[in-house]
Structure 1
Amino acid sequence: MTVAVVQFGGSNCDRDTVQALESLGIEAERVWHEDGLPADVEGIVLPGGFSYGDYLRAGAMAAHSPIMDEVRDAAVAGTPVLGICNGAQIGCEASLTPGAFTTNESARFQCEHVHVRVENADTPWTRQYEEGDVIELPIAHGEGRFEIDDDRLETLEDEGRVLFRYCEADGTVTPEANPNGSKHSIAGVTGEEGDHVAVLMPHPERATLADIGVTDGQGVLEGFRAD
């Protein structure tokens, strides 16, 4: 499988993501957004960073890049798409997934390790875990608070489209464990086209390489591995 890691002006996690994927034996390449997707693409990552300097709001300008039309078409065709941090913001702004990510409740940039609980283990991004597993992942964001209207939130919950929820190390969901004030402590959701499309605010690529410590994020990136 060849995974395209889309690089926008201001992306800063594209190289990290390629290295993390390749460490798992998954072929990956950076793709400049103006060049479009390769013809043989089999997976897509919208990586973290500060695309277009977060002007207007995080992810808003990148969501209107012409390559995003190709990303949407690929998603409709069944290509796995994963948005991470700024990529999650782009994914929501591009309507790949519902909701929006906005300013942290603290109004501060949050950079720390957090715990998240696996809410649905029956997706490509969570099949390496069991439902209820708690994993440790880093966050680094100023606009990571997931917001969505109550009706759509109820649909997400009812359809099992919440991937991860912020929690304590023992799996208990508490306000104190929610680093940004996200509704229902949501850290990641699946998309409108199916669970092959997902966004999450924590960084699995920063928790993949053994030489930097935590490797809990490997299972997320394994979602790109062909069955």
Structure 2
Amino acid sequence: MATFGVIVFPGSNCDHDAYHAIKHVMNAEVKFLWHKETDLSGIDFLIVPGGFSYGDYLRSGAIARFSPIMQEVVKFAEKGGPVLGICNGFQILLEAGLLPGAMLHNEKLRFVCKNVFIRCESTDSLFTRDLEKGQVLDIPVSHGEGNYFIEEDGLKNLQDNDQVLFRYTNADGKLVKEANFNGSVDHIAGICNTQRNVLGMMPHPERAMEKVLGSQDGKIIFESILNSLSVA
């Protein structure tokens, strides 16, 4: 059975959410990895969770990328190891150069915490293989710097390489302006690398795992991951 590792930075606040999602909802093996650790042996899948690593000083993820464990995360990803960065985790992966682009403050300069709709744009990844293209998920967000930006050439590369895995839409899956609440270029909510083993997404699937929390749509993503790992 695959073993998940959830990285813990000073300021992480979604690490226990991720642990609960994997251990108690998906019934899979998981362990916490302190940011000063450098041994990833026995880990099959890495989660860089949300929160406010190092208090978001300088800018989100800018200090966390220099934590000792991140050198190992980069090596792990470069060897094909699967990595999921959620919210602040996405920001850290951008700062570490594992994904292209950058995060800006939300368009209206306000912290946003609510449920939003995201549309699956590609099923060609271990994170989305069990979804349907065009499937709309109800997933919560919680961020102040989630306005994804990339220059025109970089955006074209993302589009040409089918690297955009999720976009913000309305409940009907339409790319309407009001659905893109943080102002992200091309409504982007989540992207993968060209090797398709690293995903960064601003919405929190680990917070949408149980009916009591209002949505179970995040569970589909983790089911896809587990099914992919079982056949790897």
Q: Determine if the TM-score, normalized by the shorter chain, exceeds 0.5.
A: yes
Please tell me the residue identity of whatever aligns with 1:146. Y
Q: Map 1:155-194 to 2 at 5 A.
A: 155-192=157-194, 194=195
Which of residues 32, 35, 39 is equivalent to 1:33? Answer: 35
Distance 1:40 1:162 in 2: 30
Please tell me the residue identity of whatever aligns with 1:207. A
Which of residues 67, 70, 77 is equivalent to 1:68? Answer: 70
Please list the CA deviations of residues 77-102 of structure 1 after superposition, one character each: whole Å capped at 9, or x if unmatched: 11110000000000000011111111
Distance 2:39 2:12 in 1: 17
Rate the CA distance shift 1:164–1:50 in 2: closer, same or farther, 3 A: same
Tell me, which stretches of 5 or more residues in structure 2 are unaligned?
A: none
Greater mean alpha carbon deviation, residues 73-82 or residues 37-46? 37-46
Distance 1:6 1:200 in 2: 16
Match of 1:2 in 2: 3
Please list the CA deviations of residues 161-192 of structure 1 after superposition, one character each: whole Å capped at 9, or x if unmatched: 00100001001001110010000000000024
**TM-score under structure 2 length normalisation:** 0.95
Please tell me the residue identity of whatever aligns with 2:108. S
Cα contact 2:131–2:224 (8 A) shared by 1 = no
Please tell me the residue identity of whatever aligns with 2:186. H
Confirm or deny that 1:147 pairs with 2:145.
no
Q: CA RMSD in A?
A: 1.0
Please tell me the residue identity of whatever aligns with 2:203. P
Please list the CA deviations of residues 120-169 of structure 1 after superposition, one character each: whole Å capped at 9, or x if unmatched: 01211111210000111000000000000100100100110001000010
Q: 1:151 aligns to what SS in structure 2?
A: helix
Superposition misfits of 4+ residues, deviation over 3 angstroms: none
Match of 2:87 in 1: 85
**TM-score under structure 1 length normalisation:** 0.97
Q: 1:5 aligns to what SS in structure 2?
A: strand
Identity %: 46
Cα contact 2:18–2:206 (8 A) shared by 1 = yes
Tell me, which stretches of 5 or more residues in structure 1 are unaligned?
A: none
Distance 1:219 1:162 in 2: 18
Greater mean alpha carbon deviation, residues 124-133 or residues 80-89? 124-133
Distance 2:198 2:146 in 1: 19
- The number of residues matched between the two structures is 226
Greater mean alpha carbon deviation, residues 114-123 or residues 209-218? 209-218
Distance 2:130 2:142 in 1: 24
Q: CA deviation at 1:223?
A: 4.2
Match of 1:56 in 2: 58
